[in-house]
Amino acid sequence: MRVYCVIGDNRVVNSQSPRMHNSVFAERFPDSKYVTFSVDQRNLRQAVNGIKAFGIAGANVTVPHKEAIVHFVDGLSSEAETIGAVNTIVPDGDTLIGHNTDVGGFNDLLEFANFCSEGSNILILGAGGATRAVLSSLIGRGSYKVFVANRTYEKCLVLTQKLGGIPISLEHTSDVLHDVDLLVNTTNVSSFQEASGMTGIMGIVTDRLRRLKLIIDINYGRDTNIWSDMAALNKARFLDGLYMLAAQGRRSYELWTGQTVPIDDYLRPLGL
Protein backbone atom coordinates (compact mmCIF):
# COMPACT_ATOMS: atom_id res chain seq x y z
CA MET A 1 0.00 0.00 0.00
CA ARG A 2 1.26 3.47 -0.92
CA VAL A 3 0.11 6.19 1.46
CA TYR A 4 -0.35 9.87 0.55
CA CYS A 5 -1.51 12.50 3.03
CA VAL A 6 -2.49 16.09 3.73
CA ILE A 7 -1.03 17.82 6.78
CA GLY A 8 -3.06 20.59 8.43
CA ASP A 9 -4.35 21.47 11.88
CA ASN A 10 -7.62 20.24 13.40
CA ARG A 11 -9.56 21.82 10.49
CA VAL A 12 -8.03 19.24 8.14
CA VAL A 13 -10.91 16.86 8.97
CA ASN A 14 -13.09 19.08 6.74
CA SER A 15 -10.72 18.82 3.77
CA GLN A 16 -12.20 17.46 0.54
CA SER A 17 -8.74 16.40 -0.69
CA PRO A 18 -9.09 12.75 0.46
CA ARG A 19 -12.39 12.44 -1.40
CA MET A 20 -10.98 13.61 -4.73
CA HIS A 21 -7.53 11.98 -4.54
CA ASN A 22 -8.95 8.64 -3.35
CA SER A 23 -11.40 8.68 -6.23
CA VAL A 24 -8.56 9.13 -8.74
CA PHE A 25 -6.34 6.58 -6.97
CA ALA A 26 -9.18 4.01 -6.94
CA GLU A 27 -9.33 4.25 -10.74
CA ARG A 28 -5.60 4.28 -11.47
CA PHE A 29 -3.59 3.02 -8.47
CA PRO A 30 -5.97 0.91 -6.30
CA ASP A 31 -3.21 0.14 -3.78
CA SER A 32 -2.79 3.85 -2.94
CA LYS A 33 -4.63 5.65 -0.14
CA TYR A 34 -4.79 9.37 0.77
CA VAL A 35 -5.31 10.27 4.46
CA THR A 36 -5.42 13.39 6.67
CA PHE A 37 -3.03 14.21 9.51
CA SER A 38 -3.83 16.93 12.04
CA VAL A 39 -0.48 18.32 13.24
CA ASP A 40 0.15 20.93 15.91
CA GLN A 41 2.51 23.72 14.77
CA ARG A 42 5.03 22.64 17.45
CA ASN A 43 5.27 19.15 15.94
CA LEU A 44 5.66 20.17 12.31
CA ARG A 45 9.35 19.24 12.08
CA GLN A 46 8.64 15.77 13.52
CA ALA A 47 5.73 15.38 11.10
CA VAL A 48 8.05 16.06 8.16
CA ASN A 49 10.51 13.51 9.55
CA GLY A 50 7.57 11.12 9.83
CA ILE A 51 6.89 11.46 6.10
CA LYS A 52 10.37 10.08 5.53
CA ALA A 53 10.27 7.49 8.32
CA PHE A 54 6.93 6.04 7.22
CA GLY A 55 7.77 6.23 3.52
CA ILE A 56 4.76 8.42 2.69
CA ALA A 57 4.61 8.57 -1.11
CA GLY A 58 3.57 12.24 -1.32
CA ALA A 59 1.94 14.93 0.81
CA ASN A 60 -0.12 18.07 0.63
CA VAL A 61 0.21 20.86 3.16
CA THR A 62 -2.71 23.06 4.12
CA VAL A 63 -3.69 25.83 6.52
CA PRO A 64 -1.87 26.90 8.68
CA HIS A 65 1.42 25.16 7.79
CA LYS A 66 2.15 26.23 4.20
CA GLU A 67 4.73 28.85 5.15
CA ALA A 68 6.32 27.23 8.22
CA ILE A 69 6.96 23.94 6.42
CA VAL A 70 9.32 25.71 4.00
CA HIS A 71 11.96 25.47 6.76
CA PHE A 72 11.63 21.74 7.32
CA VAL A 73 11.82 20.22 3.82
CA ASP A 74 15.20 19.47 2.21
CA GLY A 75 14.73 21.54 -0.94
CA LEU A 76 12.25 23.77 -2.74
CA SER A 77 11.07 24.11 -6.32
CA SER A 78 11.90 27.55 -7.73
CA GLU A 79 8.23 28.54 -7.49
CA ALA A 80 7.90 27.48 -3.83
CA GLU A 81 11.14 29.30 -3.05
CA THR A 82 10.01 32.50 -4.79
CA ILE A 83 6.67 32.68 -3.02
CA GLY A 84 7.79 31.20 0.31
CA ALA A 85 4.98 28.64 0.65
CA VAL A 86 4.65 24.90 0.05
CA ASN A 87 1.43 22.96 -0.56
CA THR A 88 2.94 19.77 -2.02
CA ILE A 89 5.81 17.58 -0.86
CA VAL A 90 7.45 15.17 -3.26
CA PRO A 91 9.89 12.54 -1.93
CA ASP A 92 13.04 12.27 -4.05
CA GLY A 93 15.22 9.43 -2.77
CA ASP A 94 16.09 10.35 0.82
CA THR A 95 15.05 13.97 0.43
CA LEU A 96 11.73 15.83 0.49
CA ILE A 97 11.19 18.61 -2.03
CA GLY A 98 8.55 21.31 -1.41
CA HIS A 99 6.49 22.52 -4.37
CA ASN A 100 3.58 24.91 -4.78
CA THR A 101 0.72 23.88 -7.05
CA ASP A 102 -1.61 26.61 -5.70
CA VAL A 103 -0.19 29.12 -8.21
CA GLY A 104 -1.00 26.85 -11.15
CA GLY A 105 -4.32 25.94 -9.52
CA PHE A 106 -5.31 29.60 -9.26
CA ASN A 107 -4.23 30.20 -12.87
CA ASP A 108 -6.47 27.27 -13.88
CA LEU A 109 -9.35 28.81 -11.92
CA LEU A 110 -8.97 32.18 -13.68
CA GLU A 111 -8.94 30.44 -17.03
CA PHE A 112 -12.00 28.39 -16.10
CA ALA A 113 -13.72 31.65 -15.06
CA ASN A 114 -12.62 33.22 -18.37
CA PHE A 115 -11.41 36.22 -16.38
CA CYS A 116 -8.85 38.41 -18.12
CA SER A 117 -6.58 39.60 -15.32
CA GLU A 118 -4.30 41.58 -17.62
CA GLY A 119 -4.90 45.27 -16.98
CA SER A 120 -7.45 44.57 -14.21
CA ASN A 121 -7.62 46.05 -10.72
CA ILE A 122 -7.71 43.44 -8.01
CA LEU A 123 -8.17 43.40 -4.25
CA ILE A 124 -6.85 40.40 -2.33
CA LEU A 125 -7.92 39.95 1.29
CA GLY A 126 -5.43 38.06 3.47
CA ALA A 127 -1.69 37.64 3.78
CA GLY A 128 -1.21 33.95 4.55
CA GLY A 129 0.22 31.00 2.67
CA ALA A 130 -2.60 30.84 0.12
CA THR A 131 -2.39 34.60 -0.48
CA ARG A 132 1.20 34.23 -1.64
CA ALA A 133 0.15 31.88 -4.44
CA VAL A 134 -2.81 34.06 -5.50
CA LEU A 135 -0.69 37.23 -5.50
CA SER A 136 2.12 35.56 -7.41
CA SER A 137 -0.34 34.29 -10.02
CA LEU A 138 -2.01 37.68 -10.50
CA ILE A 139 1.26 39.63 -10.70
CA GLY A 140 2.55 37.07 -13.22
CA ARG A 141 -0.58 37.53 -15.35
CA GLY A 142 -0.03 41.26 -15.81
CA SER A 143 -2.75 42.64 -13.55
CA TYR A 144 -2.71 46.44 -13.41
CA LYS A 145 -3.09 47.15 -9.68
CA VAL A 146 -3.16 44.39 -7.08
CA PHE A 147 -4.10 45.66 -3.61
CA VAL A 148 -3.46 43.41 -0.63
CA ALA A 149 -5.31 44.01 2.66
CA ASN A 150 -5.06 41.97 5.84
CA ARG A 151 -6.07 42.07 9.51
CA THR A 152 -2.36 42.13 10.41
CA TYR A 153 -1.15 44.95 8.17
CA GLU A 154 2.57 44.19 8.65
CA LYS A 155 2.09 40.87 6.86
CA CYS A 156 0.81 42.74 3.76
CA LEU A 157 4.00 44.80 3.81
CA VAL A 158 6.24 41.74 3.95
CA LEU A 159 4.26 39.99 1.22
CA THR A 160 4.12 42.88 -1.24
CA GLN A 161 7.80 43.74 -0.72
CA LYS A 162 8.63 40.18 -1.73
CA LEU A 163 6.11 39.54 -4.50
CA GLY A 164 4.77 42.93 -5.65
CA GLY A 165 1.34 44.51 -5.22
CA ILE A 166 0.12 47.44 -3.14
CA PRO A 167 -0.41 47.00 0.61
CA ILE A 168 -3.46 48.73 2.09
CA SER A 169 -5.08 48.56 5.50
CA LEU A 170 -8.44 46.83 5.84
CA GLU A 171 -10.01 50.18 6.81
CA HIS A 172 -9.03 51.60 3.41
CA THR A 173 -10.44 48.77 1.30
CA SER A 174 -13.67 50.74 0.81
CA ASP A 175 -11.62 53.47 -0.97
CA VAL A 176 -10.41 51.09 -3.68
CA LEU A 177 -13.33 48.67 -3.92
CA HIS A 178 -15.22 50.84 -6.42
CA ASP A 179 -12.34 50.48 -8.91
CA VAL A 180 -11.85 46.76 -8.47
CA ASP A 181 -12.70 44.18 -11.18
CA LEU A 182 -11.90 41.13 -9.07
CA LEU A 183 -12.03 40.54 -5.31
CA VAL A 184 -10.26 37.45 -3.95
CA ASN A 185 -10.80 36.36 -0.36
CA THR A 186 -7.83 34.30 0.83
CA THR A 187 -8.60 34.67 4.55
CA ASN A 188 -10.45 31.96 6.46
CA VAL A 189 -13.38 34.34 6.84
CA SER A 190 -16.57 33.82 4.84
CA SER A 191 -19.16 35.10 7.31
CA PHE A 192 -19.77 38.02 9.67
CA GLN A 193 -19.48 35.66 12.64
CA GLU A 194 -15.91 34.67 11.78
CA ALA A 195 -14.67 38.18 11.01
CA SER A 196 -12.44 40.30 13.15
CA GLY A 197 -11.25 43.62 11.77
CA MET A 198 -13.09 42.94 8.49
CA THR A 199 -16.49 44.37 9.27
CA GLY A 200 -15.54 47.53 7.27
CA ILE A 201 -15.34 45.72 3.97
CA MET A 202 -18.21 43.42 4.87
CA GLY A 203 -20.32 46.51 5.62
CA ILE A 204 -20.21 47.56 1.96
CA VAL A 205 -21.75 44.33 0.84
CA THR A 206 -24.89 46.13 -0.34
CA ASP A 207 -23.14 48.84 -2.37
CA ARG A 208 -23.27 48.99 -6.13
CA LEU A 209 -19.71 48.24 -7.20
CA ARG A 210 -19.94 48.97 -10.89
CA ARG A 211 -16.59 47.53 -12.01
CA LEU A 212 -16.81 44.37 -9.96
CA LYS A 213 -17.05 41.34 -12.29
CA LEU A 214 -15.99 38.43 -10.15
CA ILE A 215 -15.53 37.46 -6.50
CA ILE A 216 -13.47 34.40 -5.65
CA ASP A 217 -13.54 32.95 -2.14
CA ILE A 218 -10.86 30.30 -1.85
CA ASN A 219 -12.79 28.66 1.00
CA TYR A 220 -15.43 26.08 0.20
CA GLY A 221 -18.26 24.16 1.80
CA ARG A 222 -19.75 27.09 3.75
CA ASP A 223 -23.53 27.13 4.30
CA THR A 224 -23.73 30.91 4.14
CA ASN A 225 -21.15 33.04 2.39
CA ILE A 226 -20.85 36.80 2.68
CA TRP A 227 -18.76 36.98 -0.51
CA SER A 228 -21.36 35.21 -2.59
CA ASP A 229 -24.01 37.60 -1.16
CA MET A 230 -21.79 40.54 -2.08
CA ALA A 231 -21.36 39.20 -5.63
CA ALA A 232 -25.10 38.66 -6.06
CA LEU A 233 -25.97 42.15 -4.86
CA ASN A 234 -23.48 43.68 -7.28
CA LYS A 235 -24.40 41.46 -10.22
CA ALA A 236 -20.93 39.96 -10.23
CA ARG A 237 -20.03 36.30 -10.64
CA PHE A 238 -19.03 34.22 -7.61
CA LEU A 239 -16.75 31.20 -7.43
CA ASP A 240 -15.71 29.38 -4.28
CA GLY A 241 -12.45 27.45 -3.83
CA LEU A 242 -13.61 24.02 -5.03
CA TYR A 243 -12.35 24.39 -8.61
CA MET A 244 -8.96 25.60 -7.36
CA LEU A 245 -8.86 22.67 -4.92
CA ALA A 246 -9.38 20.26 -7.81
CA ALA A 247 -6.86 22.04 -10.05
CA GLN A 248 -4.07 22.19 -7.48
CA GLY A 249 -4.79 18.58 -6.46
CA ARG A 250 -4.50 17.43 -10.06
CA ARG A 251 -1.15 19.22 -10.32
CA SER A 252 0.07 17.59 -7.07
CA TYR A 253 -0.95 14.18 -8.39
CA GLU A 254 1.05 14.86 -11.55
CA LEU A 255 4.14 15.68 -9.46
CA TRP A 256 3.74 12.49 -7.39
CA THR A 257 2.94 10.04 -10.18
CA GLY A 258 4.14 11.66 -13.40
CA GLN A 259 0.64 11.16 -14.81
CA THR A 260 -1.64 13.88 -16.14
CA VAL A 261 -5.30 13.32 -15.30
CA PRO A 262 -8.25 15.14 -16.94
CA ILE A 263 -9.55 17.90 -14.66
CA ASP A 264 -13.00 16.28 -14.78
CA ASP A 265 -11.64 13.30 -12.83
CA TYR A 266 -10.83 15.73 -10.02
CA LEU A 267 -14.03 17.78 -10.31
CA ARG A 268 -16.46 14.84 -10.32
CA PRO A 269 -15.76 13.61 -6.75
CA LEU A 270 -16.38 17.17 -5.56
CA GLY A 271 -19.79 17.22 -7.22
CA LEU A 272 -18.72 19.74 -9.90
Which residues are designated catalytic?
A: 66
CB atoms inside a 10 Å sphere around CB 105: 26
Comparison of 137 and 187: residue with beta carbon closer to ligand ATR: 187
DSSP tag of 144: S
Comparison of 135 and 209: residue with beta carbon closer to ligand ATR: 135
Instruction: Specify whether the backbone of 93 is left (phi greater than 0), alpha (psi in -120 to 50) or beta.
Output: left
CA–CA separation, 250 vs 240, rounded Å?
A: 17
CB atoms inside a 10 Å sphere around CB 261: 16
* Minimum separation from the CB atom of position 5 to ligand ATR (A): 17
Residues 133-172 that bind ligand ATR (CB under 6 A): 150-152, 155
Comparison of 155 and 178: residue with beta carbon closer to ligand ATR: 155
Q: Under a CB-based contact definition with an 8 Å cutoff, are residues 242 and 222 in contact?
A: no
**202 interacts with ligand ATR by CB under 6 A:** no
**64 interacts with ligand ATR by CB under 6 A:** yes
* Minimum separation from the CB atom of position 197 to ligand ATR (A): 5
CA–CA separation, 183 vs 177, rounded Å?
A: 8
**Interface region with ligand ATR, contact rule CB under 6 A, candidates 26-34, 91-99, 160-168, 196-204:** 196-204
State the residues that interact with ligand ATR by CB under 6 A: 63-64, 66, 126-131, 150-152, 155, 186-189, 194-198
